[in-house]
Structure 1
Amino acid sequence: MASRSGPPFRRIADEIARRIADGELAPGERVPSTRQISREWGVALATATKALTALRLEGLVEARPRVGTVVAAGAAAGTAAAAAAGERAAARPSRRTASGAGSDRELTRERIVRAAVDLADSEGLAALSMRSVAARLGVAAMSPYRYVNSKEDLLLLMADAAFGEERYPAEPPGGWRARLELGARTLWRIYRRHPWLAQIDSLGRPLLVPNLLVHAEWALAALDGHGLDPVTMFDLHVLLYSHTHGLAVHLEREAQAEAATGLTGDQWLDRRAPAFQEITRATGYPVFARVVASLGPAGYDLDLDALFEFGLTPLLDGIAVIVENPPPGRTTG
């Protein structure tokens, strides 16, 4: 292992590598996140990201979307070689690290955006910064600024890339309802793939990125030609979008809560079951108490995917009433 006088990121990487070699961390098991590393070792998030990047480059860990960074298969067998490589890296910087020129010459805006998306997918939006993206790419901290002006600009580029991952068929399915269903499920898949995405916009301040407009165009085209005035068309589009976006917001929030507490949602509820039951008994809400009691020992299983599908059907049923019986024309004036 590297000496205690080595760079902070190298010392952290070597300690995690030791845990893998000793079997404390098994293949497929999550390693500490950037935020956990930051708290445990008292370092900046960028240093934590650099440590995980070093482990990933050495083949000891891998990032899995919506899971985090986990021990790679067969990683324990390679820790001795990785440790030796770490010793050599700590003793003398490589040509690429010394000057940064080799990495920087290969840097592009697309690589920066892809690295940022991968980082947010695996570590969460809180771990994202221009410095942490640079560390993930193995380039100087200021290098990304030559291609992206700020973190805010980077978030827009990330969102545009994410929304652009799905395309619609050139020949749309027949009927407005089938088109809206396809649009809603397409957006849900994108949010499911990138849980952070729903955190960075709101209905009142939508993201002004071209690829999000692709999805809006698809929904509005489905509603076009049915005698609806523009305000009603846009209201229906926003309501359908808010159903998808509103549920997707909780994807990242739950991941953040699990990372902060170390407990899954079910484990968190189990620990608070006595207090919840006490509140239920003490309050004067008999219907709520009866419904909760009727759920049985397993309680209510909050499944966001199932809830999305369950809510989509009655929402489209309500839209059907309006499409089939268009209201009088409305204006914004």
Structure 2
Amino acid sequence: MTMDTAGGLAPYERIVADLRARIGDGGLPPGSRVPSTREITREWGVAMATATKALAALRREGLVEAVRGVGTVVSGTPDPESPAEAEAGPTTAAGPTPDHAPRTRRPDTRPRPEPALTREGIVRTAIALADAEGLDNLSMRRVATDLRVSTMALYRHVASKGELLEEMIDHLYTAHELPEPPPEDWREAMELALVGEWDIYRAHPWAPRLTAMAGGVISPGLVMNAEWMMRVFVSRGRTPDQAMELLTVVSAYTAGMALQATLVAMEEHEEDTDAESWWRSRGPRIRELAAGGGFPVLFGVSAPPDIDAIFTSGLERLLDGIAPLMDAPRAP
């Protein structure tokens, strides 16, 4: 399904409007599951970042909420009143109320049992929130709200937000654990590691901010990933210091390309904008600059860049560049 932007709506706004209409007309009743990000990408033909942004906008409006083990559902619960009770109408101590009397429901004041919490469940919820709403909107209170528990309940499992961020990165890298032993061909091994890291960054655009060589988090999974790549370099006769230099270069390339792929615009409420949406939203300004004729080369391109294709091509050139060092005689 192609997006209709004739009405001036951004792709994610069109998705929000469609889903809002479905909720309003009862097509998606309270408690029903709304399309997941992957389902949205297929139905509306948009990027994953656009789908997550649409669901985040619906959450901010209070129309949907994330439910652990279920996904994103329409806020509220179905009316538990049975058809028979509805037909009979509410009663009082003196008997049934008149037909014209307003129907009221006694509020449920019973304490709700706190759901069973696990460290794994907290981490998964935090990752889903960061995917949908961005890292800056993630907090212990926000995670607790999504899990429907008190913030203090979270601290019994995770000591701080810093520890939660480490656990989130550890979960991503552990799920993409590299094979043992590494492939004998160093290029094959590096492509395997770096493409896997690229996949993590594309699925979770906030992750590069936490894996930077300077100022990032430290987790067992992340360290294991770095150790794996350094072992590949050392197996070709490089020293640990040289291996660290090479690791820094290749990791900076992957993280830098990932940050370019997920642009962060300055406008309010516009975070994690995918490249396609960014180019479309800036169309009028780009055409204005192009019309001046002062940038013939820049505006001579046929289409916006395909960031995934550029990453693959650039990775080949990067590995070509370090090949002479990898094929050099062993270090003394």
Give your verdict on TM over 0.5. Answer: yes
1:232-275 CA-partner distances (Å, limit 9, x unpaired): 22111111111111112245445997962898123123122233
Mapped to 1, the partners of 2:20 and 2:288 lie a distance apart of: 41
Of 196, 201, 225, which aligns to 2:235? 225
Of 48, 60, 64, which aligns to 1:52? 64
Mapped to 1, the partners of 2:299 and 2:287 lie a distance apart of: 13
Q: Is the 8 A contact 1:134 1:141 kept in 2?
A: yes
TM-score, normalised by the number of residues in structure 2: 0.68
1:287-327 CA-partner distances (Å, limit 9, x unpaired): x623532x24xx3x222211210111011011111112259
1:114-160 CA-partner distances (Å, limit 9, x unpaired): 11111112232233111111111111233212221221221111111
More helix by share: 1
Mapped to 1, the partners of 2:147 and 2:228 lie a distance apart of: 36
Mapped to 1, the partners of 2:162 and 2:125 lie a distance apart of: 15
Of 324, 327, 331, which aligns to 1:324? 327
Aligned 1:1-333 pairs, distance under 5 A: 20-22=23-25, 28=40, 34=56, 38=60, 52-53=64-65, 62-63=71-72, 82=77, 84=79, 92-93=107-108, 95=110, 98-99=111-112, 101-103=113-115, 106-254=116-264, 260=270, 264-278=277-291, 281-282=293-294, 289-290=296-297, 292-293=299-300, 295-296=301-302, 299=303, 301-325=304-328
Q: Residues 171 and 151 of structure 1: is their aligned pair in 2 closer, same or farther, counting only changes over 3 Å?
A: closer
Q: Residues 123 and 94 of structure 1: is their aligned pair in 2 closer, same or farther, counting only changes over 3 Å?
A: farther
Q: Residues 108 and 305 of structure 1: is their aligned pair in 2 closer, same or farther, counting only changes over 3 Å?
A: same
**Runs (5+) with no aligned partner, structure 1:** 1-15, 41-47, 64-71, 283-287
Q: Is the 8 A contact 1:220 1:237 kept in 2?
A: yes
Q: Is the 8 A contact 2:197 2:254 kept in 1?
A: yes
Give the counterpart letter for 1:231 in structure 2.
D
CA drift of 1:32 comes to 5.9
3-state SS, counterpart of residue 282 of structure 2: helix
Mapped to 1, the partners of 2:282 and 2:327 lie a distance apart of: 44
Whichever of the two has the greater Rg, that structure is: 2
Mapped to 2, the partners of 1:256 and 1:188 lie a distance apart of: 24
3-state SS, counterpart of residue 264 of structure 1: helix
3-state SS, counterpart of residue 179 of structure 2: coil
Q: Is the 8 A contact 1:162 1:194 kept in 2?
A: no
1:76-118 CA-partner distances (Å, limit 9, x unpaired): xxx9x945359xxx963475xx24x431xx1122211111111
Q: In structure 2, what is the equivalent of residue 4 of structure 1?
A: none
**Runs (5+) with no aligned partner, structure 2:** 1-18, 29-33, 45-50, 82-104
Q: Residues 94 and 220 of structure 1: is their aligned pair in 2 closer, same or farther, counting only changes over 3 Å?
A: farther
Mapped to 1, the partners of 2:79 and 2:322 lie a distance apart of: 64
Give the counterpart letter for 1:266 in structure 2.
W
Give the counterpart letter for 1:319 in structure 2.
I
Mapped to 2, the partners of 1:53 and 1:36 lie a distance apart of: 8
Percentage identity across aligned positions? 31
TM-align CA RMSD: 3.7
Q: Is the 8 A contact 1:34 1:127 kept in 2?
A: no
Mapped to 1, the partners of 2:328 and 2:219 lie a distance apart of: 34
Q: Residues 171 and 229 of structure 1: is their aligned pair in 2 closer, same or farther, counting only changes over 3 Å?
A: closer
Mapped to 1, the partners of 2:211 and 2:154 lie a distance apart of: 23
Q: Is the 8 A contact 1:124 1:256 kept in 2?
A: no
Mapped to 1, the partners of 2:144 and 2:266 lie a distance apart of: 23
1:156-196 CA-partner distances (Å, limit 9, x unpaired): 11111111111222243231111111111111112222221
Mapped to 1, the partners of 2:268 and 2:228 lie a distance apart of: 35
Q: Residues 137 and 308 of structure 1: is their aligned pair in 2 closer, same or farther, counting only changes over 3 Å?
A: same
Q: Is the 8 A contact 1:226 1:323 kept in 2?
A: yes
Moved more, 319-328 or 234-243: 319-328
Mapped to 2, the partners of 1:94 and 1:163 lie a distance apart of: 44
